[in-house]
Structure 1
Amino acid sequence: MRQHREQGMRLPIHMPAGVGELADHYNGFICDVWGVLHDGVAAYPGAARCLGELRRRGKPVALLSNAPRAAQRVADRLGELGIARELYKAIVTSGDAAVGALRRGSDPWHAGLGEACFYLGPERDLAVLRDSGRRGVALEAADFILCTGLFDEARETPDSYGELFRRALARKLKFVCANPDRVVNRGPALVYCAGALADRYQDLGGEVRRHGKPDAAVFRLAAAALGLSAGARLLVVGDGLNTDLAGAAAAGFDALWVLDGIHAQELAADGRPVDAERVAAFLAKAQRRAVAAVERFAW
């Protein structure tokens, strides 16, 4: 199967019945979590079985998530949803990537941020602030902003942060985003994520660094976690055009697009069937590539 099959001519894309039809072409898999394994409320039917089938065939899976929290917390949540730890080899998260960059001061930008941080996000993800080794302070005393999401994703939108961002920009505060996702499914609804706030802050003139997909570096971390030899054929499985598919291309990996995820409503907006030709046209318009597309992550 040729790497990065071109979809620009809008030829119908390969749409296998399940992941099983592709498994023998690859040595390992890098799999998104939210939108592929679960919708934030429940695991998708067939997801755990699909991971199990890959494991039985000696195809290791690394989970790559834009979750603004530690890998262990993601594993705990997956266990609650019925996706057992033995079904995958490793988890790489954007939260861990952000914490690592802050603790290491991995480049002059991060090294120069300072110690006092304004935390922007829900209480459930405060561990990112604690693990970073920074002090949480009020905006007026902060050296920079660390964002894991909205304070209240059920009630707020990026528009809710205009005044806060104006105050931050007046102080030229830099903005660290621990989850580049703009929106995510929570059951049947879409809710805003930290990436939407990062976009808004940047549009207003703020300086932003994002940790997680689509940065090729986190895909390489996930690939290394598989423990395979150099030259192994890897397939990235994801539902996000601008995170999973964009990052796979940046890292040089093939991608399998999962349709029943974040873009499901867009694909079915006019009520027409979501067939191979329509999917290929959607990819071409978005300037993204995939070797195949499946309705959901199932064997």
Structure 2
Amino acid sequence: MTEIIRSLADLTGRYDAVFCDLWGCLHNGKAAFPAAVAALQGFRATGGRVVLMTNAPRPKSSIVKQLDGLGVPRDAWDIVVTSGDAAQMGMLSGAVGRRVHHIGAPKDEPFFTDFAEDLAAYAATQPPITRVPLREAEGIVCTGLRDDLTETPDDYRAALLLGKTLELPMLCANPDIVVDMGDKRLYCAGALAQEYEQMGGTTLYFGKPHPPIYDLARRRLAEAGAPADPQILCIGDGISTDIQGGIGEGLDTLFITGGLEAERFGADVENPDQSRLDAWLDSKELSPTFAMGRLR
């Protein structure tokens, strides 16, 4: 049975590092959560390392800039790893060809130009990636909707059907289906990838819960001087991304019930009801190691 804990400090000394989700755990897209910031600062103060792991389709530098703008202090984390970073590696390796059609927003432009140091060195050894119209492409790179404030996956049905007819593989840079920005729920690249698969298209994923992002996180953690075979706790509010991914990697997990699924576990978001939580987790056939209302 999943153990409900009061705070991250309850686990002091048990883990060398945390892989912590961002949206829904550390911020809501508009503001940082002070209690979550304090929890991560406290974890680092005891010698732990904080890896911020996000399914955002943009490279690390864009996320660091966003965190700064949201008021997340630099002493709350050590490393940032994004689905965009892992997907960039896939794109650069030619996973969907070198002539690609991009589906995504203007804010995602850095995906094609801004590479972390380890990826930039690799990019310099590879043939260039060229963006082309859909009918000229070898594959699709999907970073999200062009306007996630107004659009839904239905707006992309014709383009997805054409891609499927052309037998183009899709690289999905963000497996998330939805996120909450304040009180508004927005669709992500994962929603388009899900539609594409339902049409019979081929989709490649690089973010949580899939292995590439965890491989990249472990490599960067090792490069930062973490101990060999560190004890890692995965923290997140996405049951099918953060939690399923952590369990799939053989890691302990902490499910934040007050994020995407906040309305399921009783009126007090900070204190989820154990019986409701257990019943819902049974229906998902997943068992996080721990659970907590909001990260604190």
* TM-score > 0.5 by shorter chain: yes
Aligned to 2:246: 248
Q: Give percent identity, aligned residues only.
A: 35
Deviation at 1:266, TM superposition (A): 4.0
1:101-112 correspondence runs (5 A): 101-105=90-94, 110=95
Matched, 1:117 2:100: yes
| Superimposed CA distance per residue, residues 37-91 of structure 1 (whole angstroms, 9 cap, x where no aligned partner) | 0011111131211111111111111111101011111111111111122321111
Equivalent position of 1:277 in the other structure: 275
Q: Which moved more, 1:42-51 or 1:172-181?
A: 42-51
CA distance in structure 2 between the partners assigned to 1:253 and 1:137 by the alignment: 40
The one-letter code of the counterpart of 2:56 is A
Tell me whether 227-236 or 118-127 shows the greater mean CA deviation. 227-236
Higher relative contact order (CA 8 A, sep 6+): 1
The one-letter code matched in structure 2 to 1:116 is: R
The equivalences for 1:90-169 within 5 A come to: 90-105=79-94, 110=95, 113-130=96-113, 133-169=128-164
1:3 is matched with which residue? Answer: none
Correspondent of 1:42 among 31, 41, 45: 31
The secondary structure found in structure 1 opposite 2:33 is coil
Q: Paired residue for 1:292, among 274, 282, 290?
A: 290
Which of 81, 87, 94 aligns to 2:70? It is 81
Amino acid paired to 2:10: E
Number of residue pairs aligned between Structure 1 and Structure 2: 279
Structure 1 contact 32–64 (Cα < 8 Å) conserved: yes
Match of 2:22 in 1: 33
Task: Determine the C-alpha separation between the residues in 1 that align with 2:263 and 2:104.
Answer: 27
- Corresponding residue for 2:117? none
Instruction: Give the unaligned 5+ runs of structure 1.
Output: 1-6, 8-12
* Structure 2 contact 86–212 (Cα < 8 Å) conserved: no
Q: Could you say if the C-alpha distance between residues 56 and 197 of structure 1 is closer, same or farther in structure 2, counting changes exceeding 3 Å?
A: same
2:263 counterpart (244, 255, 265): 265
Displacement, 1:217? 3.3
Which stretches in structure 2 are left out of the alignment for 5+ residues?
115-122
User: Which secondary structure state, in structure 2, belongs to the residue aligned with residue 184 of structure 1?
Assistant: strand
Cα distance in 2 between the residues matched to 1:253 and 1:22:
15
Counterpart of 1:122, as a letter, is A
Q: Deviations over 1:1-59 (max 9, x none)?
A: xxxxxx3xxxxx32222111112221221111111100111111312111111111111
Query: With structure 1 as the length reference, what TM-score do the two structures score?
Result: 0.88
User: Normalising by structure 2, what TM-score?
Assistant: 0.89
Measured in 1, the distance between the counterparts of 2:266 and 2:150 equals 26
Q: Quick one: distance in 1 between partners of 2:166 and 2:211? A: 31
Q: Answer whether contact 1:120 1:149 (CA < 8 A) is retained.
A: yes
Contact 1:129 1:135 in 2 (8 A): no
RMSD of aligned residue pairs (Cα, Å): 1.9
Tell me the CA shift for residue 268 of structure 1. Answer: 4.9
Shift of 1:223: 3.2
Distance in 2, matches of 1:277 and 1:70, equals 40
Of residues 173, 196, 213 in structure 2, which corresponds to 1:178?
173
* TM-superposition CA deviations, 1:113-148 (whole Å, max 9, x none): 332211101110012134574222221222211000
Q: Which amino acid aligns with 1:40?
A: G
Partner of 1:219: 214
Secondary structure of 1:46's partner? helix
Distance 1:140 1:268 in 2: 50
In 1, the alpha carbon distance for the partners of 2:15 and 2:249 equals 16
